[in-house]
Amino acid sequence: MEQRLHIITGATAVGKTEYALSYAEAHDAEIVSCDASLIYRGMDIGTAKPSLEERARIPHHLIDLNSVSEPYDIVAYVRDAEVAVAEIFARGKSVVVTGGSGFYLKSFFAPVIDVVKVSDAIRAKVTALYEADGLKGLLDKLRVHSVSGTGNLDTKNPRRVSRALERCIASGKDLPTLQAEFAARPEPFADCIKHYILLERDMDNLKQRVARRTELMLKDGLIAEVQTLLLQGLKENPSAASAIGYRETIAFLEGELKRDDLLPLIVQNTLHLVKKQGTWFRTQIRRPDETVNF
């Protein structure tokens, strides 16, 4: 039996939830979320999490797995996604993957987990080097450990240069070798038939949808939701606490932001995310099999 993986993505507020629901109904599929924030229980309003009614229409997976105080990363996601997809296929169903989190989405097309183990000691050493000598110090040290060059590394990005240096030190290999080994790893879900759908809207329309959605989030109780989550340990988990809508509301609750500035700042940051998502879809994910324009 053919195993079909339907991957549906698009920018925040483009309309992925309803489209994925209708698509899953039409293709005898269950839905696997690839949204990093939907993992957390209680992060409902600020993530526009599918409602209980929507989840009753089609079974959803990888939603509400963790308390907000418990970190969750790409390694855990890949593990959990593989299990969810296998179980859905075992039931004779197709899979609809939907969401807009970059690495989570990319994990269905290419390897995303680094197998090089970097110790805390190496990470601390590289961090100290950056604090002392900046980007130039990182690059000078990287060229010592990778005499054959830096391959396709973005050498203007301190975070990526730091990670590259850590990996070279930990593995004893130069960067081009590490890059080649990573690229040679097998494609995930290689035995599946993949159909990749990109949803798009006119930017003016998308801006209106972002603004309206943010207004509704605040009206529906985003501030109260964040207050509750703070009591549950939200700030103990930087990944969850930095999600758009949550970090701005935390700033308001802690007196760092005026109430009148909350909505426009969430809208502004969401539109910045929309721009980053567009770049990611164009550069990190293969060409879509189908583009749907609303």
The SS3 call for residue 263 is helix
Contacts from 126-134 at CB under 8 Å and sequence distance 24+? 126/162, 126/165, 126/166, 126/169, 127/162, 129/165, 130/158, 130/162, 134/158
Q: Are both 57 and 124 inside the same structural domain?
A: no
Has residue 19 got a pLDDT over 70? yes
Residues 266 and 289 in one domain: no
Q: Kindly state whether residues 75 and 211 are assigned to the same domain.
A: no
Q: What is the pLDDT of residues 66-109, one digit of tens each?
A: 999 999 999 999 999 999 999 999 999 999 999 999 999 999 99
Same domain, residue pair 167 and 81: no
Domain check: are 10 and 66 in the same one?
A: yes
Examine the domain organization and report whether 8 and 83 are in the same domain: yes
> From CA 24, how far away is CA 56, in angstroms rounded?
13
Over 80: is that where the pLDDT of 1 sits?
A: no
pLDDT at 113: 87
Residue 23, Cβ density class (10 Å: 0-12 exposed, 13-18 middle, ≥19 buried):
buried
**Which residues are within 8 A (CB) of 68 and not within 5 positions of it... i.e. 6 or more apart?**
40, 41, 42, 43, 229, 232, 233, 234, 237, 240
Q: Same domain, yes or no, for 17 and 103? A: yes
Distance CA 118, CA 125 (A): 11
Q: How many domains does the chain have?
A: 3
User: In terms of residue numbers, what domain contains 19?
Assistant: 4-112+189-201+282-293
In this structure, the number of other CB atoms found within 10 A of the CB of residue 52 comes to 8
Q: What would the mean pLDDT of 174-194 be, rounded to a whole number? A: 91
Q: Where does a domain end: 154, 183, 212?
A: 183
Task: Kindly indicate the confidence band of residue 152, based on its pLDDT and cuts at 50, 70 and 90.
Answer: confident
Give residue-wise pLDDT tens across range 197-233. 999 999 999 999 999 999 999 999 999 999 999 999 9
Same domain, 195 and 274: no
In a shared domain, residues 99 and 43: yes
CATH of the domain at 92: 3.40.50.300
Section 10-33 average pLDDT: 97
pTM as predicted = 0.87
Query: What CATH number is attached to the domain comprising 208?
Result: 1.10.287.890
Residue 117, pLDDT > 70, answer yes
Query: What is the mean predicted confidence (pLDDT) over 194-199?
Result: 97
What pLDDT shows up at residue 114?
Answer: 83
Q: What percentage of the chain exceeds 70 in pLDDT?
A: 100
- 195 with 61, same domain: the answer is yes
CATH code of the domain in which 135 resides: 1.10.20
Whether 53 and 197 share a structural domain: yes
Cα–Cα distance, 110 to 103 (Å, whole number): 10
- Verify that 270 and 233 share a domain, yes or no: yes
